[in-house]
Amino acid sequence: MTTGLGFVDRYGPWAVVAGASEGLGRAFATEIARRGLNLMLVARKEAALQQTAGELCEAHGVETAVLALDMGAPDAIDRIADAVGDREVGFIVANAAFVPIGQFSEIAPADLDQAIAVNCRGTLQLARRFLPPMAARGRGGMVVMASMAGLQGTPMLTTYAATKAFDLVLAEGLWQEFGKHGVHVIGSAAGAIADPNLAKVKTKRAPGTLSPDAVVSETLAALGKGPRVVPGRTNKFASVLMSRLLPRQAAVRIMAMNTKDLRAG
Ligand SMILES: NC(=O)c1ccc[n+]([C@@H]2O[C@H](COP(=O)([O-])OP(=O)(O)OC[C@H]3O[C@@H](n4cnc5c(N)ncnc54)[C@H](OP(=O)(O)O)[C@@H]3O)[C@@H](O)[C@H]2O)c1
């Protein structure tokens, strides 16, 4: 029984954050370190990971390790497990994502495969590798970063949206299966997040845009309370409208209006 445990006792001592070099993943790593967990930071940009690792170590006195790899590579999860070694991982954040932007017919087939490899297979295999040992210990947690784009078809982000629908449904099943063993899984269907990458591809700030810190805080607060969180009040309202109240064709058309200014970054 894990009721009443603090963050470190419930989710420590080590967390793995996949996609930790910038943006939301870096914000997750920072908050998790602030709460006292040691961190294994994973992404492709090693220098950015090293810099974050150094800063977190100095600011919060936690241990850190970095691993530079492509989450879409077939051996990615084996390499993470090797790097983890005998460290006890009690928390994982599946945040890395690849976002092919544009008309479906103009996106290279290899990019479609990479979206599946990073956004679906990477998340799936992280869960498969690290959740069962947590269940055996009777505690732990996982954040599956998804998107409101995954609540319905989203033109110009068609493949990305489909991968995020996969992530949300995956998180729901895992929430039930592992919740019975004291492991909290949450799928976070974030709306627009204010970050440099969003600014690269979108000219106007979308309604309901949140800071990375706000998404992290609301997502972590939702652990153990249910299978899914939509951070932000505006986004919660929009998600009910889009997925429950409007006919599907209207929801998809609204998304098409919202994504028509997107351009490949
Ligand atoms: N930004 C938004 O508005 C928004 C909205 C809703 C949901 N989300 C979700 O939130 C999450 C983070 O989004 P973000 O905007 O912060 O993304 P981002 O700035 O593009 O960062 C993604 C992170 O994943 C890493 N990454 C990307 N491809 C990778 C790969 N093949 N292998 C390993 N690491 C990889 C990136 O680092 P490297 O480049 O160093 O590998 C980076 O650290 C994603 O799951 C996304 O679906 C974002």
Domains of the chain (ranges, CATH numbers):
7-259 (3.40.50.720)
Per residue in 220-234, pLDDT tens? 999 999 999 999 999
Query: Which DSSP symbol is given to 242?
Result: I
Taking a C-beta distance cutoff of 8 angstroms, is the pair 208, 235 a contact?
Answer: yes
Q: What mean pLDDT do residues 179-190 have?
A: 98
Q: Which of 160, 202, 204, 225 is catalytic?
A: 160
Residue 71 CA to ligand 1 centre (angstroms): 11
Query: Given strand 183-190, what is the order of strands in its sheet?
Result: 64-68, 38-43, 14-18, 89-94, 140-147, 183-190, 228-229
The pLDDT of residue 254 is above 80:
yes
The pLDDT-based confidence of 17 (bands split at 50, 70, 90) is very high
pLDDT of residue 194: 94
| Other beta carbons within 10 Å of 243 | 16
Taking a C-beta distance cutoff of 8 angstroms, is the pair 79, 1 a contact?
Answer: no
Per residue in 75-89, pLDDT tens? 999 999 999 999 999
Indicate whether residue 195 lines ligand 1 (CB < 6 A).
yes
Mutate to test the pocket of ligand 1, among 45, 46, 95 (most ligand atoms within 8 A of CB): 95
- % of residues, the chain, pLDDT over 70: 94
> Pairing relation of β-strands 38-43 and 89-94?
unpaired
Per residue in 143-162, pLDDT tens? 999 999 999 999 999 999 99
Residue 182 region by backbone torsions, left for phi larger than 0, else alpha for psi between -120 and 50, else beta: left
Give the SS3 label for residue 18: strand
Known catalytic residue: 11? no
